[in-house]
Amino acid sequence: MKQKQVFVLNVVGKIAMRVLAIGLALISGFWLVMASNMGPAYLPEVGDGCLDMWIRMTFLAVGLLIWFLTAIWLIWSMFRYGYHLFRSIK
């Protein structure tokens, strides 16, 4: 009986950690996407503000890349779990 409880807690812990990791990744990606559109120029005195576009585009690209990779990771995890479930039933 104790082994079942430990197994269930282990599975619940893994699920909770994945949900937490996905949530943190999505929040950080969202923050970077929002930061790419915030306020005035970041470095207006350097090169007459020409670095501003590169900083904003970098924030936007990194934020969207985080979202994209998180979605791929989530879909990959679901397919892998489904495959293992299918193999165990078969």
The per-residue pLDDT for 1 is: 62
53: phi then psi, degrees, rounded to nearest 5:
-65, -40
List per-residue pLDDT tens for the chain, 90 residues long: 677 777 888 888 888 998 999 999 999 999 999 988 887 766 677 666 677 888 889 999 999 999 999 999 989 988 988 888 888 887
Give me 44's structure tokens: 């207006």
Q: DSSP states of 11-68 as a string? A: HHHHHHHHHHHHHHHHHHHHHHHHHTT-SS-SSTTSGGGTHHHHHHHHHHHHHHHHHH
The per-residue pLDDT for 17 is: 92
The per-residue pLDDT for 59 is: 92
Domains of the chain by residue range: 2-89
Burial (CB < 10 A; 0-12, 13-18, 19+), residue 63, is buried
How many alpha carbons lie under 13 Å from residue 55 in its C-beta half-sphere?
Answer: 14
